[in-house]
Amino acid sequence: MDVIENVKKEGLRRKYSIRTIETYLICIRNFLGFCHKDPRKFTKRDVKDYLDVLSEKNKSGSTINVNLQALKFMMEYVLNKRKYFYNIKYSKVARSLPLVLNKDEVIKLINSIENDKHKLMIKLLYSAGLRVSELLNLKVCDLDIANNFGYVRKGKGNKDRMFIIADSLKQEISDCIINDKLNQDNYLFRSYMGRMSSRTVQEIIKKAVHKIKLGKKVHPHTLRHSFSTHLIENGYSVSEVQSLLGHKSPETTMIYVHMVSPKFIAVRSPLDDLQLQDSFKKICCEDENFEERKSIMEENNNLSI
């Protein structure tokens, strides 16, 4: 029984994204290397033993969960063993705050890029909050430049969504289309090999970060995080930002509220309203026996020493 091929076919039939299918296949291949059995004889114990090995290797909660999801898909939809996963719980995933650049850092990063097309790519990543794959999959027909929006086609989760086009980029994008003689079905950013690779974008940002000596581990997705945080700082609601990012749940978008710069948070600490020192002096003045009790306390302290 060719489990790998069957998983691939089932994933394609269910219209899973290619990236999801490839991830599942990697997880399942690793499991097959661990469990040397006929797939029809796989048990829940085999799966739990494999997940325990991943845990012992100090793999992250998200990695363990992806493997569990892949094995669950294989067992339930390919091997017809649906009852095997009722009692296997997903791992807790630590929620860490993403790295965000402030607005000055974004300006320095963009201005350090000399190649006009490369600079436009990074501007578009930041200005629309796009993922790298979404940027590189953009075609001319996906853009409505005159009306300041475009469409992401089959983004994460195979979903389409709209994105905004900054006014300041409209002419640059139009010039790019004209100068490169692109037709409606062409990718907006392409290389001599066809569609540009994500590695190219990573290298553009890596060189820019090194050039301005930023001292932060910046990657393309950092610009998406920065876009979201800056929108919140500019007064847009979580629901508005959620729609632009294509998040299914507002809880995912809420993380950017925690990234907002302190100077944009109009919350005053209650400690600032207490005036502790003045209150202490007031109490002392109102207490007629305070000085006498203070003298006795000092004498006791000297005796104890």
Please indicate whether residue 256 is annotated as part of the active site.
yes
Which of 29, 117, 190, 221 is labelled catalytic? Answer: 221
Helix axes 61-73, 18-34, angle to 10 degrees: 90
Which of 24, 84, 187, 256 is labelled catalytic? Answer: 256
Confidence of residue 305 (pLDDT cuts 50, 70, 90): very low
Inter-CA distances, 25 with 31, 105, 117, Å: 10, 39, 36
Please indicate whether residue 156 is annotated as part of the active site.
yes
Nearest residue to 97 via CA among 237, 262, 222, 239: 222
Which of 156, 190, 195, 206 is labelled catalytic? Answer: 156
Q: For the whole model, what pTM was predicted?
A: 0.68
Please indicate whether residue 221 is annotated as part of the active site.
yes
- Per-residue pLDDT reduced to its tens digit, 14-69: 988 888 899 999 999 999 999 988 888 888 889 889 999 999 998 888 899 999 99
Which of 72, 118, 123, 131 is labelled catalytic? Answer: 131
Torsion of CA 282, 284, 285, 289, to 10 degrees: 160
What share of the chain in percent tops pLDDT 70? 82
Please indicate whether residue 36 is annotated as part of the active site.
no
- Per-residue pLDDT reduced to its tens digit, 262-292: 665 666 667 667 766 555 455 455 555 555 5
Q: Are 121 and 204 in contact (CB under 8 A)?
A: yes
∠ CA 73-76-80 to the nearest 5 degrees? 140
